[in-house]
Structure 1
């Protein structure tokens, strides 16, 4: 399979079939062996043939339906999302993929931009969100990294924040008895790879050598990305490794090499990562308005209206977190900001039932409580 064919297959699986990129990567060799390496071939397959590779019946049906849809579009001259231009893909499907050979780092970073907000402080204080704990922790860590690892591009900070959530969620699930066995980290997966510490947790990383991104690019809220100390040695951009995905694949050979397709990773490039697209999508859909705060209009809200409201809520949350961290950034070192983050999060996280019963539970989060953590002006 040529590099362009591999990229087309990964784009089909991740964009059209909505399979997480890390999972898609781990199935490429099996699809090749089964002669199911194009949407046309997959569209003619039997559901059980796909299920034998992806194991989940729902995912298999999802992939088969996407293959038939894409094949039909090609036959009728419709738009083919696997070959359309980066601009068209961004408008239709959101963030660009690092496997897109036509996408520049600047294009990719721009496509990952998060919602911004220009709400007044009073508007922020009146905002009450409804969510569960993991996405709120993700938003806290993502904002922290803007100040503690300012040399990292947006894509890396999203990946690292998601990697942190993966590590803590797995540990929590094991401690509550929701999952059995040992974590991939405990079993030695990722041993030898570099480590970064985020709020006391070790996250295994992959260095993205050669990934050149525009350091004065804008991100949410119109703020410039902070720069590291001049004269200090900066780390290259990083990916957070997805060790649980690596454990499931059971062998490095089951995942195709990413190479330049994933942002200039040199060396061990066949390791699954936490993708920035997944972290971004998770936050975009996680923050609803608290039921008590919703305005009753007598009309059922459309899906588009719900999506737009969640995006506005995320923008306000990131604005409130940015205000919090900026208030302390001049008084605390990056290391101290890192140490305080978990305590700040615990003080405002949703209240849920104790133990396994509260796993995934939702409740309210008041942005006023986040703003109350600010450093007092002196």
Structure 2
């Protein structure tokens, strides 16, 4: 099974050495994996007809084959010119600070504050925030019920993808942004998608990723699978789907921009995804207890952080109780559709148009609880 490093090396070869557009390179990784053609050396030795079948174009297949031969020849020459040295005895290193985390450790590092489920406390709570992090909190909680197979890292990534797509649309609607978005220009065309709160979100499949794996051989393969089935089903009767990343279409678009010195800031060695660490950090800092009063001194930073984390825990608890009350009554599709209406009912009031962009307001958690299914 190919490791994350193998996949990224393959993407780097295709996009940089073979000059294949990144979006197209990503879409071919799964086919190359299935054919067990991962490295430039393996590509250079592969049957040309096999490459032509994978890339679907004779000219492009020839381009990739020639690049593989150049890279392989260069590496072979470099190896032959290097002085022979005895192979060092490698001792198994102990885990240390800075080492890559295995999947179980990675998921644990993304943990959110424990959800507060005490209704008495929730009914009294009022938090002060803006709309974007509230969308993320809604989506992260909703996905536990509509896509229970997705680990926390995926739910955070998908929630950030939804938030960014909504923000882009809103910015254009109120005149803060002009021109077509990457989504409108078709950069996600042909890639799989899932629907979150009524909006289609393009995704990458993380083949081979097991969020509960804590062994040394665990690997995370972050690729877009070539598939004719675009809509990913999350029903429990369907075999477990792979973990997903939210695809950052704007980053994908920028990575394939014109090659002008200083213009390309997005490294092709990094996959164009929404990273869960960013969504988590945004959630942790976005929920104040109330609007800061003027002229009452500075709140200690440590206390402010603690308050924000506690507020996030209360918000997550209220949203969890809301989804929980409907989960056994509504289908997953209906639950997804209802979630956007629920969000609109409780989101903070802001000024209309550009004046309200990024504006903050109150969210009363009792109003979230009132959206629960009435007790029978």
Verify same fold: TM over 0.5.
Answer: yes
Establish whether residue 116 from structure 1 lines up as the match of residue 117 from structure 2: no
Instruction: Give the equivalent residue in structure 2 for 1:30.
Output: none
Q: How does 1:189-200 map to 2 (within 5 A)?
A: 189-200=187-198
Q: Which residue of 176, 179, 200 maps to 1:178?
A: 176
Matched, 1:308 2:314: no
Deviations 1:133-183 (A, max 9, x none): 111111111111110000111100110011011111101101111011010
Aligned length: 263
Aligned pair in 2 of structure 1 residues 166, 299: CA closer, same or farther (>3 Å)? Answer: closer
TM-superposed deviation, 1:232: 2.1
Work out the CA distance in 2 between the residues paired with 1:373 and 1:361.
24
Who is 2:43 aligned against?
Answer: none
Aligned match of 1:349: 347
Match of 1:41? none
Query: Shift in Å at residue 291 of structure 1?
Result: 3.1
Q: TM-score, normalised by structure 2?
A: 0.64
1:256-267 aligned within 5 A: none
Equivalences for residues 1-378 of structure 1 within 5 A: 88=97, 101=100, 103-118=101-116, 120-214=118-212, 231-251=237-257, 271-291=271-291, 300-378=298-376
| Cα distance between partner residues in 1 of 2:127 and 2:188 | 37
Q: Is the 8 A contact 1:184 1:244 kept in 2?
A: yes
Distance 1:172 1:281 in 2: 23
Q: CA deviation at 1:271?
A: 3.6
Offset, 1:202: 1.4
Alpha-carbon offset, residue 187 of structure 1: 1.2
User: Residues 85 and 352 of structure 1: is their aligned pair in 2 closer, same or farther, counting only changes over 3 Å?
Assistant: farther
2:230 matched to which residue of 1? none
Runs of 4 or more consecutive aligned structure 1 residues displaced over 4 Å after TM superposition: 228-231, 251-258
RMSD: 2.9
TM-score (norm 1): 0.64
Between the aligned partners of 1:348 and 1:188, the Cα distance in structure 2 is 33
Q: CA deviation at 1:117?
A: 3.8
Counterparts of 1:284 and 1:350 in 2: how far apart (Å)?
18
For residues 66-116 of structure 1, give each alpha carbon's deviation from its aligned partner in whole angstroms, at most 9, with x where no partner exists: xxxxxxxxxxxxxxxxxx966x56xxxxxxxxxx53x11000001100001
Distance of aligned partners of 1:230 and 1:126 in 2 relative to their CA distance in 1, 3 Å threshold: closer
Pick closer, same or farther for the CA change 1:119–1:203 going to 2, 3 Å.
Answer: closer
Give the direction of change, closer, same or farther, for the CA distance of 1:198–1:230 in structure 2 (3 Å limit): closer
Cα distance in 2 for residues equivalent to 1:141 and 1:313: 17
Q: Larger radius of gyration, structure 1 or 2? A: 2
Quick one: distance in 1 between partners of 2:237 and 2:119? 37
Give 1:257 shift.
Answer: 6.1
In the TM superposition, what whole-angstrom CA distance separates every residue of 1:173-215 from its partner, at most 9, and x where no partner exists? Answer: 0111101101001112122211111122111111000111229
In the alignment, the residues of structure 1 paired with residue 245 and residue 142 of structure 2 have an alpha-carbon distance, to the nearest angstrom, of 17
Q: For the residues of structure 2 that align with 1:307 and 1:321, how far apart are their CA atoms?
A: 21
CA contact (8 A) 1:130 1:291 kept: yes
Structure 1: 5+ residue stretches without partners: 8-83, 90-99, 216-227, 259-269
Deviation at 1:251, TM superposition (A): 4.4
- Is the Cα contact below 8 Å between 2:192 and 2:202 reproduced in 1? yes
Rounded to whole Å, the distance in 1 between the matches of 2:115 and 2:149 is 24
